[in-house]
């Protein structure tokens, strides 16, 4: 049995009757401000989940489904998000410093004001993503896909110079 608690008050948010959160089915769960530091959430179903201001530092979310999830202000520092499905997720103001997002699907995701310093976005899908005011200092964009609808920070001059690949649509 796993208890997921509030990171500030230690109040119980959710009791999961399992020994592991790997492959957990938590779609739509209300886990705002949850303490999930170093949690193993590989291949977890978290679509539409509210994780606003949650602490997921160093969590393993490889291949997790976070489509449409609310991750505003979430701490994902050094988290593993390899091949995570984050389509239309809201990561406004999230801390993704040194996060691994290789191959992640961030299509139409909102990353406004997110901190992606040192993050790896290699081969990530950024089609239509909003990275307005995001920090991309030392971020790896090698092979990341973007299109004319992708919004980069105002002072981010040329994504292609950082290794990203422009997908042109007719």
pLDDT of residue 130: 98
Confidence band, pLDDT 50/70/90 cuts, at residue 20: confident
In 19-149, DSSP assigns E strands to 145-146
* CA torsion, ordered 55, 96, 90, 165, to nearest 10 deg: -160
pTM exceeds 0.85: yes
Rounded to whole angstroms, how far apart are CA atoms 32 and 38?
Answer: 16
Give the closest residue to 135 by CA, choosing from 158, 157, 112, 151: 112
pLDDT surpassing 70 at residue 150? yes
pLDDT of residue 131: 97
pLDDT surpassing 90 at residue 156? no
Confidence band, pLDDT 50/70/90 cuts, at residue 155: confident
> What pLDDT, in 10s, does the model give residues 42-73?
999 999 999 999 999 999 999 999 999 999 99
> What pLDDT, in 10s, does the model give residues 76-129?
999 999 999 999 999 999 999 999 999 999 999 999 999 999 999 999 999 999
In angstroms, the first-to-last Cα distance of the chain is 52
């Amino acid at each position: 049995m796993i208890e997921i608690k509030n990171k500030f008050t230690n109040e119980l948010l959710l009791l999961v009757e399992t020994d592991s959160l790997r492959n957990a089915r938590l779609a739509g769960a209300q886990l705002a401000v949850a303490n999930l530091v170093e949690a193993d959430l590989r291949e977890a179903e978290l679509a539409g989940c509210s994780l606003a201001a949650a602490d997921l530092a160093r969590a393993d979310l490889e291949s997790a489904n976070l489509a449409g999830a609310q991750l505003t202000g979430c701490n994902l520092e050094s988290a593993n998000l390899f091949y995570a499905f984050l389509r239309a997720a809201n990561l406004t103001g999230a801390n993704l410093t040194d996060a691994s997002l290789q191959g992640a699907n961030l299509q139409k995701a909102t990353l406004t004001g997110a901190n992606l310093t040192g993050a790896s976005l290699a081969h990530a899908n950024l089609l239509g993503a909003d990275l307005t005011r995001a920090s991309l200092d030392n971020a790896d964009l090698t092979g990341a896909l973007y299109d004319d609808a992708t919004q980069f920070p105002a002072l981010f001059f040329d994504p292609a110079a950082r290794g990203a690949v422009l997908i042109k649509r007719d």
